[in-house]
Amino acid sequence: MQLIDGKATAAAIKKEIAEEVARRVEMGLKRPHLAAVLVGHDGGSETYVRNKVLACEACGFTSSLIRFEDDVTEEELLDCVARLNRDQDVDGFIVQLPLPPHISEQRIIEAIDYRKDVDGFHPINVGRMAIGLPCFISATPKGILELMRRYGIETRGKKCVILGRSNIVGKPMAQLMMQKEFGDATTTVCHSHSAHLKKETLEADILISAIGQPGFVTADMVKPGAVVIDVGTTRVPDASRPKGFRLAGDVDFDNVAPLCSYITPVPGGVGPMTITMLMLNTLEASRRELYITYHD
């Protein structure tokens, strides 16, 4: 069994990005610039946005953070999005979700210029990904592909089973795993209404779990030799930890790991890749190569 070290991989990628940025700056090009919009003071969002700023620094990016209080109006937020769309220095930006209930997340997402939508959530990017056109691929699926690629995990013709069908992980992951240009795998999506779940998972050469139920994937559900990717990161109360919680994956790691050829731990597996892929998307945005010019 080999542990897939997301933390080390993410660090290696950030180093590669920083090297490219240094080369670009030396050539007289500007630094990539990622902006983040944060509404309110949700603990998880604060942490995530702080980590983005740190990752920008590690990559040599310019970063900016625009803060609003919880009582910001949708109109004010749309104005901010419009400003960032126009700002020539900003290559990409994200609006940190969730937003307060009086604001339509979908409306905000659709207001973002898709050429700056480094989260890959705009319907145009979702659609372009589905039909195999160049686009920003959202961070978590992109990070999983990158981990498998760097660990030399063969996916072509393999059987991939995905647990979960969320818009940000399960669905895009399935679309990427089935496509010739990416996974090229026989791809199955299971979810809360799937009958015979264990029968499905037992056939998986590659099992990707993204349901957010700690310990859901048990040893009797995993084929010996399988690659197991655990996308779950549920906060489980734990008084012995400084923060009062620990992160738990979907997989019963201790019992499943000995069966696997490769497995991602939680934490330290898929998680660290997510922000790094956002950096990669921002670098791609600054290169202006993804979208052909007739859109301008």
- Within the chain, what is the greatest distance between any pair of CA atoms? 58
CB of 127 to a second copy, least distance (A): 3
**Residue 48: Cβ-neighbour burial (10 angstroms; 0-12, 13-18, 19+):** middle
CA–CA distances in Å: residue 45 to residues 52, 177, 275? 10, 29, 13
CA distance 66 to 80: 9
Question: Of the listed pieces 81-89, 106-114, 211-219, 256-264, which binds a second copy according to CB under 8 A?
Answer: 106-114
Q: At CA 156, angle to CA 200 and CA 274, rounded to 5?
A: 80
**Binds a second copy by CB under 8 A, chosen from 174, 211, 227, 260:** 174
Q: Does 213 bind a second copy (CB under 8 A)?
A: no
Spatial contact of 21 and 13, defined as CB atoms under 8 Å apart: no
Spatial CA neighbour of 136 closest among 163, 118, 111: 118
Q: Does 116 bind a second copy (CB under 8 A)?
A: no
Q: What is the DSSP letter of 141?
A: H
Q: At CA 77, angle to CA 271 and CA 91, rounded to 5?
A: 55
CB of 9 to a second copy, least distance (A): 26
Residue with smaller CB distance to a second copy, 213 or 255: 213
Q: How many residues does the chain have?
A: 296
Q: Does 131 bind a second copy (CB under 8 A)?
A: yes
Q: Does 128 bind a second copy (CB under 8 A)?
A: yes
**Binds a second copy by CB under 8 A, chosen from 44, 98, 127, 258:** 127
Question: Of the listed pieces 23-31, 45-53, 140-148, 166-174, which binds a second copy according to CB under 8 A?
Answer: 166-174
**Binds a second copy by CB under 8 A, chosen from 180, 239, 254, 293:** 180
Give the side-chain half-sphere CA count within 13 A for 68: 22
**Binds a second copy by CB under 8 A, chosen from 101, 193, 254, 289:** 193
Q: Does 200 bind a second copy (CB under 8 A)?
A: yes
Q: Does 97 bind a second copy (CB under 8 A)?
A: no
- Where in the sequence numbering do the catalytic residues fall? 52, 96, 119
Q: Does 196 bind a second copy (CB under 8 A)?
A: yes
What is the contact surface with a second copy in residues (CB under 8 A)?
A: 106-107, 110, 122-133, 156-159, 165, 167, 171-172, 174-175, 178-180, 184-191, 193-196, 200, 294-295
